Amino acid sequence: MNLANSAIKASRGDRLFMFGVYLFLAVALVVVLYPLIYILSASISSPKLVNAGDMWLWPKGITWDGYTLVFQNSKIWTGYLNTIIYTVLGTALNLAVTLPAAYALSRSDFVGRTLFVIIILVTMFFNGGLVPTYLVVKDLHLINTMGALILPVAVSVWNLIVARTFFQTTIPRELQEAAQIDGCTNLRLFTRVVLPLSFPIIAVMALFYGVAHWNSYLPSLLYLNDAAKYPLQMVLRQILVLQEMTAETTGAAISGDIAKAMNSKAETASLLKYAVIVVSTLPIIAVYPFLQRYFVQGVMIGSVKG
Amino acid sequence: MKAETQQVQAMDGGLPLPTKLAERASLGKRIWRNWELYLFVAPALVYFILFHYLPMYGIQIAFKNFMPAKGVMDSPWVGFAHFERFFNSYYFWDLIWNTFGISLYALAVGFPLPIILALAFNEAKNGWFKKSVQTVTYAPHFISVVVMAGMIITFLSPSSGIIVKIMEWVGIDAPQFLTDPRWFKTVYVLSDVWQSAGWGTIIYLAALAGVDPQLHEAAIVDGASRFKRVLHINLPTIVPTITIMLILNMGNILGVGFEKILLLQNSLNMESSDVISTFVYRTGLVDAQYSFSTAVGLFNSVINAILLILVNRIAKRTSETSLW
């Protein structure tokens, strides 16, 4: 009797606990989802209603003007095109340098690999810093070229280790040895045997590197001075941060007619703002749910090593 | 990293003598047999030498008066002059306080949340709800810092920001989030939590997948409640992962997210938003005081390295989990 009683009690406590768990997850869902929905809704709502706070969840006074503005803005398109070029070439370079190196470092019969790994790992914990790196990029005559955006980030130590762990744990050693006994050279072994078996890691690497290129703004801030070469993120910085910040910090002192003129300008600006956030982020957010598996896999392979 | 040191040890003295002799004899052969593998690593090595070791060599300008015309080598030595200037400057303690303040605040709020969220994910039944919460909470990880900064500025705008509006509806007077120095750190930390808490769960979920189900079965037989099982079985299982993450975070305490701070900084919140890394950027690349900026950056790296080693040692002594 007593036992049965306590079992029921426990299960009631468990139910309460599970209620708490689901409530917590629901709150997390709402908190994260709300800003995303708001941005989407605001991008197709009348800016008057958005700025007044009348639009707070679903679109109101639907208008596509924001997207028209984005499509008409040549700066955004140049930036978009530049970003696509930098992302494609940068990622190709990343893969071409990272994968062979990771494979070589995964081979236990590779004399000197410990030394190479140490040389590489040291850079994870110590680096030259901003100015010395800038001076090297300058001495290599990379300032204001695409090279400055893709060469200094040609390899990420983290990604290299993830790829190496993958090769070490997933490609059967026996298979490689058998291929070698058959007289297969290392180059053929890598391109014909190892790479075809490594689709998951190639996908993970391409995704990690690709997203990093797409979202990067710091190298272009440091090394580019020609606005025509700016990637999308630098254009976004101009639209979303610099203009807005000046508006926020100087806005208080203006009154009357100027304020009215500024208001209508501000409305156009706010339309453009939401639309450009959607246009710039959508490519990644839209593909991501389909590729989530690979991203998660990448983090997990990395954590095994941790 | 642990495995690495073990390999070093194995190479140095782990092998029995005969094998070692045999291997010594064929060292040249073993290198020659895999000559292609050296070509495989060559581009990566060139990269690390050019963009990591060459800058490390360039750190010497922290002790020199760098003159572009003379180059790194021939610029005159000045010893610790730049460091003295930095330590004695009126902004030194402000920078230190801001950097530590933001990092520790971010650690206190941002570190436990992914752990709690991961434990909750682990309890929830596999189904559409759990999957959608995961997909949604992971998504902000892919938003660029520029867009993130833009969203923060938009949402907190005193005239039209939706967060300000919501606070008004509830009846709270919204502070000047972006221009009041007292609010900068909170804005920075909470937006960071929003963006990265979900993604941060993955590493803990991987560890939670390794919990032995027999432990749970035994605990159920003993009448342990669900909450007790999470607390006494699941949490202890991921403690090593938590320790490693904590060490890595501590080692990066002065390397606080420079990109986002730079974007959110303005003349009005400067007194609480200026951190060492933004200061290095401003003095170095905007004002072109190359040597001084390098000295400040070096100070930053050294403190980071010391913290990392210290925390790692503490962790090793208290929990037997450590980076190396």
Could you give the ipTM of this predicted complex? 0.86
Smallest Cβ distance to A29: which of B133, B199, B226? B133
At A250 the pLDDT is 59
Average pLDDT over residues A258-277: 73
Mutation target among A48, A111, A126, A131 for the B interface, most CBs of B within 10 A: A131
H/E stretch holding B314: helix B290-319
Average pLDDT over residues B100-106: 89
- Flag whether pLDDT at B170 surpasses 80: yes
- Helical ranges in chain B per DSSP H: 2-9, 17-25, 27-33, 35-48, 54-58, 71-74, 81-88, 92-110, 112-123, 128-138, 145-156, 162-170, 181-208, 213-221, 226-229, 235-251, 258-264, 270-273, 276-281, 290-319
pTM, entire model: 0.85
At A5 the pLDDT is 45
DSSP B228: H
Q: Decide if A17 and B54 are in contact by the 8 Å CB cutoff.
A: no
Give the tokens for residue B36. Answer: 């292609």
Residues from chain A contacting residue B40 (CB–CB below 8 Å): 100-101, 103-104, 186, 190
Q: Looking at per-residue confidence, does B16 or A198 come out higher? A: A198
The helix-helix angle for B235-251 and B181-208 (nearest 10°) equals 140
B167 within 8 A of A301, measured Cβ to Cβ: no
Residue B90 C-alpha, separation from nearest chain A C-alpha, in angstroms: 23
What percent of chain B shows pLDDT beyond 90? 27
Say which amino acid occupies A138: K
What percent of chain B shows pLDDT beyond 70? 91
pLDDT tens readout for residues B311-320: 888 888 877 7
Say which amino acid occupies B303: I
Q: Decide if B37 and A152 are in contact by the 8 Å CB cutoff.
A: no
Smallest Cβ distance to B48: which of A6, A21, A119? A119
What percent of chain A shows pLDDT beyond 70? 88
Q: How far apart are CA A302 and CA A296, in angstroms?
A: 10
Residues from chain A contacting residue B167 (CB–CB below 8 Å): none
User: Residue by residue, what is the 3-state secondary structure of B236-281?
Assistant: HHHHHHHHHHHHHHHHCCCCCCHHHHHHHCCCCCHHHHCCHHHHHH
Q: How confident is the model at residue A248 (pLDDT cuts 50, 70, 90)?
A: low
Q: How confident is the model at residue B294 (pLDDT cuts 50, 70, 90)?
A: very high
